[in-house]
Amino acid sequence: MDLNLLGKHALVGGGSKGIGRATAHALAQMGADVTVLARNAETLKECVASLPTRSTQRHGYIAVDMLDRAALTAKVAALLCQRSVQILINNTGGPPAGDALGASEAAFELAFSQHLLSSHALTQLIVPGMRDAAYGRIVNVISTSVKEPIRALGVSNTIRAAVASWSKTLSVELGPLRITVNNVLPGYTKTERLDAIIAARSASRDPLEVERSMLASVPVGRFAEPEEIAEAIAFLCSPAAAYITGINLPVDGGRTLSL
């Protein structure tokens, strides 16, 4: 099985922690040059220093807020002037918890901008280099909510579904260019996002009771480690996954009940 990414360059969103950081590590282990992108320069520097590095690999970082689209496109364009990107991981923190009905218009607009518009801007910048290299992998880290809405995540459910439809459309458009576009749908994963969901559900319940209730819906009986999500993402970025495109891949311990 060809999992070799030597000579490939990956841009990983949300790369300073959680699933993004684990993905950066997995891609570097497979030989890719990795540029991690997030807001905090100090945590990004620490992440880059921790990445596996062979003699030919070059890792780096971009500190920028995904919501500042002008700065985002300017900094990524500057990176592309130095070297193209063959692997794009669209990944950013999810919207706050809450019901859909009570959410403001501003909450939907903010989430749409952060998740879909920023990913679209990055994709538009990076695809020409993928086309020229005849190799491209775009993986969007979304949520199992695109298959089954998650209670009390109204804004997230709505926006994640929009990103999934955008991704499926792109997979058709970019397939002839040897560029694949896929979505990975993490289940309950040990990250700050999971802590926030548990806290939101613990307003009138004991947090341990909330955790037990959540785990009762997971057939394998535990929360995922970020590295387990990262390994699925990394496989989709490899040469071995060249014929896989346009899919939603749940990595959730069997929690999603739909096909």
Q: Are strands 33-38 and 9-13 parallel, antiparallel or unpaired?
A: parallel
Same domain for 45 and 78, yes or no, is yes
Same domain for 16 and 91, yes or no, is yes
Give the model's pLDDT for residue 196: 85
The answer to whether position 259 is within a domain reads no
Domain count, the chain: 2
Give the model's pLDDT for residue 154: 96
Same domain for 119 and 217, yes or no, is no
Same domain for 201 and 218, yes or no, is yes
The answer to whether position 1 is within a domain reads no
Same domain for 107 and 233, yes or no, is yes
Give the model's pLDDT for residue 108: 97
| Domain range enclosing 204 | 190-223
The answer to whether position 168 is within a domain reads yes
Give the model's pLDDT for residue 5: 98
Same domain for 203 and 158, yes or no, is no
Same domain for 237 and 117, yes or no, is yes
pLDDT one-digit tens code per residue, 30-49: 999 999 999 999 999 999 99
Same domain for 146 and 61, yes or no, is yes
**pLDDT tens across the length of the chain (259 residues):** 999 999 999 999 999 999 999 999 999 999 999 999 999 999 999 999 999 998 899 999 999 999 999 999 999 999 999 999 999 999 998 898 899 999 999 999 999 999 999 999 999 999 999 999 999 999 999 999 999 999 889 999 999 999 999 999 999 999 999 999 999 999 999 998 888 888 888 888 899 999 999 999 999 999 999 999 999 999 999 999 999 999 999 999 999 999 8
The answer to whether position 3 is within a domain reads no
pLDDT one-digit tens code per residue, 189-238: 999 888 888 888 888 889 999 999 999 999 999 999 999 999 999 999 99
Give the model's pLDDT for residue 199: 87
- List the beta bridge partners of residue 140: 90, 183
Same domain for 114 and 216, yes or no, is no
Same domain for 73 and 21, yes or no, is yes
Same domain for 219 and 145, yes or no, is no
The answer to whether position 208 is within a domain reads yes
The answer to whether position 4 is within a domain reads no
Same domain for 132 and 201, yes or no, is no
The total of other beta-carbon atoms located within 10 Å of residue 68's CB is 13
The answer to whether position 257 is within a domain reads no
